[in-house]
Amino acid sequence: MQGRAGLRDHKQMHMTGLTARFHTIANLHRRTGSGSLLIILPIILLVFATPVSARTINQYPFADNTALLADATHFPSWAATLQRQAEQQSLMVRCRTEAGSGETMVSKAECRGRLRSYNRMIAKAAELTREEKITLVNYYINRTRYDRDHPERLYDEQGKRTGVKKNHWATLYEFLTERGDCEDYASAKYFMLRELGFPPDDMRIVVTYETRPRGYHAVLALRVEQDKVWLLESDNVIKKRNHSGYRYIYAMNEHSVWDHRTDY
Amino acid sequence: MNPRKTLTGTLTATLTAPLTAIGAALLLSSTIAVADANSAQSDAVQVPSLKVKERLQSIEQINVTSEKTVQDIQVESQAVANLLEEADQLDQLDTAATDRPDK
C-alpha cells in the first residue's frame, strides 16, 4: 500500500510541477505579447521535453561513484564465480564449435542442458537490433527452471564453523546445465549480454529489497543511454521508466562492487 | 497621447520581451537542474568509518531468494519470438527438466 501511495504522490507531484510550469509560461506570454511567440515556443519545448524524457522514477543510480565499495576480486563468492566463468568459457565455445562436427573432444554430458539452444541464440542474435538482443536475453534466460539456493556452512582451517555462505552465484554454464535461483537469472543475463558485446561498464547485477514479494531480489541494471537505465526482471518485465518499489542494496559487475545501503 | 512616449514604450517592450523570456527560461532550466542534482545526491552513500571488508562480509550474509512469477508477455519483435520458439523446441529435445514452469 505504501508503495502505491508513494507512486501516487510522486505522480501528483509531477503533475503539479507540470501545471506550475504551464502557468509560468502562460503568464510570460501574457506579459510579453503575441509578438514573442516565436521565442516562447522553443522555451516551451525546452521546459517540457527535457525533464520528462530524462526522468525515471527511482532510477538505479549508475553514476553514483560514492557507492563504489571495492574491486570485484575482494568479494569472495562473486570472485570465485568470475573465475569459474572464465574457466568454463572454453568448454562452452567447444560445445558450440564441435557440436555436430563429428569431433569427440567434448562429451555429450558436458554439452548438456540448454547449451545447444543457448549457442543457437548467440549465433542468431547477431542479426538482431540492440533492443531485440536485450529482449531475447531477458526472455531466454527467464525460461530456465527456478531452483532455490541451499546455504552452505563455512569452516576455517581448524574445522571451526565460521559462517554460512548464503548465496551461490552460478556461472552461465552452471545455470544453463543445472538451473539457478533469483541472483543467477541476473548474472546469467549479464554473462550472455557480455557475449553479445555489451560492455561491462553499462551493466550491473543489482540486489534490491522489495516489499512485493517481500525479500531480497536481484535484477540486471543495463545502461542503455547516458541517463537511461533499464531493469531486466526475472518475470519477463523490462522496467524502462518506473523503477518504484526497489530499494537498492548492493551491485556488482566483473570489475567492482557497489554498496548502496544508507542504514548499514 | 504622446506619440514619442508610445514609440519608446513599444521599443522598450520589444527589446525587453525576448530578454525576459530568455531569463525566465534560464531560471527554469537551472531550477530543474539543481533539483535533479539534489535528488541524485540523496542516493549517495559513504560511510568511511566502516571497513570495506566488514561491509563486504555483511553483503555476503544477505540471502537473495525472492522469486517472481513469470508473466506471459507477448514479444513485440517477430524475429525474437521466432528465436524463442526455436529455443523452446531445442530445449524440449535436449532436456525437459530445465524448462521453467509458469508459476
**Mean pLDDT taken over chain B:** 72
* Cell reading at A192: 550472455
Rounded Cα distance between A64 and A179, Å, is 33
Mutate: best of B80, B89, B93, partner A, most A CBs <10 A: B80
Contact B17 A21 (CB under 8 A): no
Which residues from chain A sit within 8 angstroms of residue B79, using beta carbons? Answer: 127-128, 132
| A51-65, B53-67, B76-90, range with the lowest pLDDT | A51-65
Spatial separation of the C-alpha atoms in residues A4 and A143, rounded to whole Å:
29
Q: Choose the weakest-confidence range: A132-141, A224-233, B57-66, B84-93.
A: B57-66
Neighbouring C-alpha atoms within 13 Å toward the C-beta of A63: 12
Task: Collapse the DSSP code of A112 into the 3-class scheme (helix H, G, I; strand E, B; otherwise coil) and give the result.
Answer: coil
Contact assessment for residue A188 and residue A170, using Cβ atoms and an 8 Å cutoff = yes
Q: In this complex, do A113 and B47 lie within 8 Å of one another by their Cβ atoms?
A: no
User: A216: which strand partners?
Assistant: A209, B64
Q: Which residues of B touch A181 (CB under 8 A)?
A: 64-65, 67
A61 pLDDT band, cuts 50/70/90, is very high
Q: What is the pLDDT of residue A59?
A: 94
| Secondary structure letter of residue B69 according to DSSP | P
Whether A218 and B97 lie within 8 Å, measured CB to CB: no
Min Cα separation B74/chain A (Å): 10
Nearest residue of A to residue B83, measured between CA atoms: A121
Residues from chain A contacting residue B98 (CB–CB below 8 Å): 113-114, 144-145, 176-177, 179
CB-CB under 8 Å, B60 with A76: yes
Q: How many CB pairs under 8 A join A and B?
A: 218
Q: What is the pLDDT of residues A36-53, one digit of tens each?
A: 656 666 655 555 554 444
C-alpha A190/C-alpha A203 separation (Å) is 7
For β-strands A214-225 and A203-211, DSSP reports them as: antiparallel
pLDDT range class, residue A110, cuts 50, 70, 90: confident
Q: Indicate if the pLDDT at residue A161 is higher than 70.
A: no
Q: pLDDT tens for residues A243-254?
A: 999 999 999 999
Residue of A149, A163, A213 with shortest CB distance to B68: A213
Cα A195 from Cα A93, distance rounded (Å)? 11
| Cβ–Cβ < 8 Å for A226, A53 | no
In sequence order, which residues have a C-beta less than 8 Å from that of residue B70 and are 6 or more positions away? A142, A234, A235, A236, B100, B102, B103
pTM: predicted TM-score of the whole model, two decimal places: 0.68
Q: Who has greater pLDDT, A30 or A191?
A: A191
Nearest-Cα residue of chain A relative to residue B87: A117
pLDDT tens, residue by residue, B2-35 = 666 666 666 666 767 776 777 777 766 655 555 5
Query: What are A113's three cell numbers?
Result: 542442458
Which residue does chain B place closest to A73, by CA atoms?
Answer: B56
- Cβ of A182 within 8 Å of Cβ of B67? The answer is yes
Q: How far is A42 from chain B (nearest CA, A)?
A: 10
Contact A216 B43 (CB under 8 A): no
Half-sphere exposure of A124 (CA within 13 A, CB side): 19
Comparing B44 with A81, the larger pLDDT belongs to A81
pLDDT-derived band at B49, boundaries 50, 70, 90: very low
The model's confidence at residue A212, banded by pLDDT at 50, 70 and 90, is: confident
Question: pLDDT band at residue B39, thresholds of 50, 70 and 90?
Answer: very low
d(CA A221, CA A62): 9
d(CA B9, CA B5): 6
Using a CB-CB cut-off of 8 Å, the residues of chain B touching A262 are 45
Which pLDDT belongs to residue A197? 97
Inspect the interface and report whether the beta carbons of B86 and A117 lie closer than 8 Å: yes
Residue B82 binned pLDDT confidence (cut-offs 50, 70, 90): very high
